[in-house]
Amino acid sequence: MIKNDLYIKALKGETVERPPVWMMRQAGRFLPEFRAMRDEYDFFTRCRTPELAAEITMMPIRRYPLDAAILFSDILVVPQAMGIDFEMREGVGPWLETPIRTLEQVQEIEVPNVDDTLGYVFDAIELTLHKLDKQIPLIGFAGSPWTILCYCVEGKGSKAFDVAKKFCFENPEAVHLLLQKITDTTIAYLKRKIEKGVSAVQVFDSWGGMLSPYDYQEFSWPYINQIVEALSPLTHVVVFGKGCWFALEEMSLSKSSALGVDWTIRPEIARKLVGENMTLQGNFDPSRLYSSPETIKKMVTEMIDRFGKDRYIVNLGHGILPNIPLENAEAFIRAVVDWKPN
């Protein structure tokens, strides 16, 4: 039994004394101990070395009273496992020397044996669970098929992913084949994470909001829902679509245990769209962590009161930014831990 199971209770919709809290990218660049390790090992070395990944996962847990840990990794390990050779370039971010731009390229991509190609992630889970010692749950994650495709076609990060969208509209056959291969790989990958002991999985659709509501129904949601359908009998599945408030109502009809929301929607509207029986997660603007600790505490308290303490997981509306002061991150977390009903 996990000692602190607030996060699991929230996913189940059970009554809690206070909502649980964790932060997307909590094991990341804002921590000085993370930056010290970054200076010693490159990004994907940290991802591929189980001992390092487990240690990074634990960094925020040692600092703050968080209610869940999320395994340190990256969404691009999935396309790497498929033979799509991403690297992380300093000052650039994700980089693919030969982007996927033709049907022939897509046809050559294989759905891998995840044990052969992603075993280092599963080893990191085992090491992390040992370090956690059943104190709090561990979350596994993957990128949505659409978000992965954006990087594969664009070849790098983008503000609009217009090259990826152009490929979708000009080569729908290739796009749907690639999306399905990514989906099949992701399902196998997350199933193994569940077998290794994670308590829940989260699908990050970071670039879903780049699509119109119509195109989202063709190129993103059906593939996410395949993942939800495959995994929901096995564990809790959380779906986070940045900028995807327009799809919340349909998402709420799925077998997801929770839906993440960014900071561009009011809690009352999000709740109205998904109903009272769906757990919501979010939606504090990450930039608001530049506010004073006093302001952060006030805003977090108001956010909880507006979402309601039950069927709610306190989080940011996207990942924590790299230069957030440590005391401000702590103020965010402490505001939840110390929250009391009015």
Query: Which positions are annotated as active-site residues?
Result: 25, 29, 38, 74, 151
- Of all helices (H) and strands (E), which one includes residue 238? strand 236-241
Residue 236 marked ligand-binding: no
H helices of the chain, in order, are 6-12, 32-38, 43-48, 50-63, 77-81, 103-108, 114-117, 119-132, 145-154, 162-170, 172-196, 213-219, 221-231, 248-251, 267-274, 293-307, 326-337
DSSP 249-316: HHHTTSS-SEEEE-TTS-HHHHHHHH-TTSEEEEEE-GGGGGS-HHHHHHHHHHHHHHH-STTEEEEE
Residue 29 marked ligand-binding: yes
Task: Map residue 60 onto helix, strand or coil.
Answer: helix
CB–CB of 136/66 below 8 Å?
Answer: yes
Q: What is the distance between the alpha carbons of residues 272 and 289, in angstroms, rounded to a whole number?
A: 27
Residue 44 marked ligand-binding: yes
Q: What is the DSSP letter of 133?
A: T
Residue 256 marked ligand-binding: no
Residue 290 marked ligand-binding: no
Residue 62 marked ligand-binding: no
Task: Find the radius of gyration of the CA atoms of the chain.
Answer: 19
Residue 206 marked ligand-binding: yes
Residue 74 marked ligand-binding: yes
Q: CB under 8 Å to 96, separation ≥6 — which residues?
A: 84, 85, 86, 87, 151, 152, 155, 156
Which amino acid is it at 261? V
Residue 144 marked ligand-binding: no
Residue 223 marked ligand-binding: no
Query: Residues marked as binding for substrate?
Result: 25-29, 44, 74, 151, 206, 318
Query: Residues marked as binding?
Result: 25-29, 44, 74, 151, 206, 318
